[in-house]
Structure 1
Amino acid sequence: MAPLHLTFACGDYDRTRALAEGTVRADGIDLTYLRLPVEETFFRMLRHREFEVAEMSLSSYVLSLRADPAPFVALPVFTSRMFRHSSLYCHADAGITGPEDLRGKTVGTPEYQLTACVWMRGVLGDRHGVPFDSVRHVTGGQETAGRIEKARVDLPETVRISAAPEGRTLSAMLAEGEIDALVTPRVPSPFAAGDPRVRRVFPDVVAAEKEYYAATGIFPVMHVVVIRRDVYERHPWVAQSLYKALLTAKDQAYANLYDTSALRFMLPWLTPQLEEARALLGEDYWSYGVAGNRTTLATFLRYHHEQGLSDRLRSPEELFAPESLESAVI
């Protein structure tokens, strides 16, 4: 039987590079790997269903499940994970000395439904006494004006939300004090340029994130891999074939990171940082599957529902193709 030709749109990651380079192959699949920026991948997949397989924002995927039938089926493969305390910025004169001071403030967010923003709103509510409905939300383009939500959101009236003024960017509004804070996955340009008017809410990000992990055991999931439903329904075997290949590629990335003969990335202390990550988070600190990520996924699904983005509270198993949750007994 001829292999099935599929196109996979995904970022340029160490954990997926073996698939991009063809050193790991999915059984029965001839895969074309497109290295694309995440925003482009998400937009093209959500709006136009351009790829058979794609990386996707976890939040956008959960939003898509409101459709009947849902347009995608996910694999428990987490191409992006990241602690997001570093994603919270404030204006220096906004009277914010710590995260608890955000209550009652005006907070920018490029899109309300962004996974990073869902996580940070949840963390602020659970751990810092700042419920998502205790702030005023402003949405819009961070560096270019006019950004809108990629996926439709129908929010409850308790969410106070408005669009940025026409022609205004969130970065400029933050620097000029028109908004008090900004939660965003990308570093805002004033902060990157060293503008003293903009600083992080958590001054010691690493300490805050280590403390968060020690208290919760959560290493937040940002992105999953999805298969277009029409492809999955015609070829359900694709789910496990891709999952196995993505697991193998991740294992290769682990091994390559710990090759101390020469540094693969331009980080002088990469090896001790890797060893510290293993000591704090465990050997398989970037684990795939549901079993080792149940608390993380269930917490995100609770946040998503509480913040008005989900029509109901889902369980982690509901998100993924059943074939990717099973394995043969040897």
Structure 2
Amino acid sequence: MTVPLTLACGRYDRVQALTDGRVQPEGVDLTVVHLEPEECFWRMLRHAEFDAAEMSLASYAIAVANGDDRFVGVPAFLSRSFRHSSMYVRDDGSVTEPADLAGRAIGVPEYQMTASVWTRGLLRHQLGVDLDGVTWRTGGLEQPGRTERQRLSLPDHVTVEPLPSDTTLTAALLDGTIDMIMAPRVPSAFRRPGSGLRRLLPDYAERELAYYAETGLFPIMHLVVVRRDVAERLPWLPRSLEKALTQAKRLATDGVADLPALRYTMPFLLDALERQQAVFGDDPWPYGVEANRPALETFLGYLAEQGLFGTAGTPPTVEALFAPSTLDASRI
């Protein structure tokens, strides 16, 4: 007998085998609901609508630190990304290198979002930027009115100011209200010739390789969480989901370079896969706690450094983020 379960997540190749039924978690009759990450996070954090869902690593860790125990984590990391490409400035010479950002106004969709946390860590620790005097302006990238999905209690030395409700980050950058945007999505204006925008780090691909060689980190963005009431009713579920998600990822990646026809619409796919193999080895996207402990510990350190655990929050351990059955899964 199986139990019905709903998982909300993005439409990734690494979950496709769950969507089309080639993989079913043990004991589960699974329905996958595909949502964009922002909607998925909002609906789970505000209303806990789904049995399980993709979740921002930052939002989840902050919730755990502040006593919100509605969810338990599964160490299947559906989204990862280097963030060297995600910083955009005006092409007017006012910011020509990272050091110029000291004391400036920087726009982010949300101060607490995972991409922002990793990018601030990159700026401070790899690029040597003094962020103590920066003013962080928040708002929607192209749609006005975006707000933080969680209430934040930040220390006095962190200055976060929302943009006016009728203004976007892109407009604020173009009119000089802010000096840089940090955003996981590419501003549409950047794609237009003569937009006046450029990347702060146009050689981002080379820098990402150097960053990985130096740190060994492939930044984690999102994990999977299960509602605690569901996990308590079905204590085997987090491990069952982890196994199924791992199997689905393997089906998406194994043998892609050996197929007679390109699976994806990428003319240089074989070259990309062979370069990836040279850098990351056999599994560029590992799941599980131990394989990701350095990235998780680094990220929790960044959250603390950036004031995101608040005055009342206690920084959680890596172990506190995940269902106990997933912590020793590698021993089975």
TM range (shorter): over 0.9
How far is the alpha carbon of 1:94 from its aligned partner?
A: 5.2
Which runs of structure 1 show a deviation greater than 6 angstroms over 4 or more consecutive aligned residues?
none
Equivalent position of 2:22 in the other structure: 23
The answer to whether structure 1 residue 206 and structure 2 residue 205 are counterparts is: yes
The answer to whether structure 1 residue 140 and structure 2 residue 170 are counterparts is: no
How far is the alpha carbon of 1:328 from its aligned partner?
A: 7.7
Equivalent position of 1:62 in the other structure: 61
Equivalent position of 2:182 in the other structure: 183
Please give the TM-score of this superposition, normalised by the length of structure 2.
0.95
How far is the alpha carbon of 1:256 from its aligned partner?
A: 4.9
Distance 1:145 1:303 in 2: 28
Describe how 1:164-175 pairs up with structure 2 within 5 A: 164-175=163-174
How far is the alpha carbon of 1:63 from its aligned partner?
A: 1.5
Partner of residue 318 from structure 1, selected from 311, 317, 320: 320
How far is the alpha carbon of 1:275 from its aligned partner?
A: 1.3
How far is the alpha carbon of 1:141 from its aligned partner?
A: 1.2
How far is the alpha carbon of 1:314 from its aligned partner?
A: 2.8
Distance 1:259 1:30 in 2: 32
**Structure 1, unaligned runs of 5 or more:** none
- Match of 1:312, as an amino acid? T
Equivalent position of 2:238 in the other structure: 239
Describe how 1:276-295 pairs up with structure 2 within 5 A: 276-295=275-294
How far is the alpha carbon of 1:263 from its aligned partner?
A: 1.4
Identify if the C-alpha distance between structure 1 residues 165 and 259 changes in structure 2 by more than 3 Å, giving closer, same or farther. same
- Match of 1:130, as an amino acid? V
Equivalent position of 1:95 in the other structure: 94
Q: Tell whether the 8 Å contact from 1:132 to 1:307 is kept in structure 2 after alignment.
A: no
Equivalent position of 1:218 in the other structure: 217
Equivalent position of 2:306 in the other structure: 307
Say which SS state the counterpart of residue 213 (structure 2) adopts: helix
Equivalent position of 1:257 in the other structure: 256
- Match of 1:315, as an amino acid? T
Say which SS state the counterpart of residue 151 (structure 1) adopts: coil
Identify if the C-alpha distance between structure 1 residues 197 and 328 changes in structure 2 by more than 3 Å, giving closer, same or farther. closer
Say which SS state the counterpart of residue 276 (structure 2) adopts: helix
Equivalent position of 2:160 in the other structure: 161
Q: What do you get for the CA RMSD once the two structures are aligned?
A: 1.5
Distance 1:223 1:45 in 2: 13
Say which SS state the counterpart of residue 244 (structure 1) adopts: helix
Q: Tell whether the 8 Å contact from 1:11 to 1:37 is kept in structure 2 after alignment.
A: yes
Identify if the C-alpha distance between structure 1 residues 67 and 105 changes in structure 2 by more than 3 Å, giving closer, same or farther. closer
Deviation digits for residues 242-272 of structure 1, max 9, x if unmatched? 1111111111111153343111221111111
Say which SS state the counterpart of residue 8 (structure 2) adopts: strand
Equivalent position of 1:80 in the other structure: 79
Identify if the C-alpha distance between structure 1 residues 194 and 320 changes in structure 2 by more than 3 Å, giving closer, same or farther. farther
Q: Tell whether the 8 Å contact from 2:109 to 2:138 is kept in structure 1 after alignment.
A: yes
Say which SS state the counterpart of residue 16 (structure 1) adopts: helix
Distance 1:247 1:258 in 2: 19
Q: Tell whether the 8 Å contact from 1:122 to 1:132 is kept in structure 2 after alignment.
A: no
Q: Tell whether the 8 Å contact from 2:3 to 2:29 is kept in structure 1 after alignment.
A: yes
- Match of 1:214, as an amino acid? A
Instruction: Determine what percentage of the aligned residue pairs are the same residue.
Output: 48
Deviation digits for residues 176-202 of structure 1, max 9, x if unmatched? 222100000111121122344111000
Say which SS state the counterpart of residue 162 (structure 1) adopts: strand
Single out whichever of 180-189 and 130-139 deviates more from structure 2.
Answer: 130-139
Identify if the C-alpha distance between structure 1 residues 282 and 96 changes in structure 2 by more than 3 Å, giving closer, same or farther. same
How far is the alpha carbon of 1:93 from its aligned partner?
A: 2.2
How far is the alpha carbon of 1:313 from its aligned partner?
A: 2.9
**Structure 2, unaligned runs of 5 or more:** none
Single out whichever of 116-125 and 247-256 deviates more from structure 2.
Answer: 247-256
Q: Tell whether the 8 Å contact from 1:122 to 1:131 is kept in structure 2 after alignment.
A: no
Q: Tell whether the 8 Å contact from 1:10 to 1:41 is kept in structure 2 after alignment.
A: yes
How far is the alpha carbon of 1:97 from its aligned partner?
A: 1.6
Report the count of equivalent residues. Answer: 329
How far is the alpha carbon of 1:327 from its aligned partner?
A: 3.1
Equivalent position of 1:266 in the other structure: 265
Q: Tell whether the 8 Å contact from 1:175 to 1:190 is kept in structure 2 after alignment.
A: no
- Match of 1:182, as an amino acid? I
- Match of 2:290, as an amino acid? A
Say which SS state the counterpart of residue 190 (structure 1) adopts: helix
Deviation digits for residues 115-162 of structure 1, max 9, x if unmatched? 000000011111122244331110011111111001111111101111
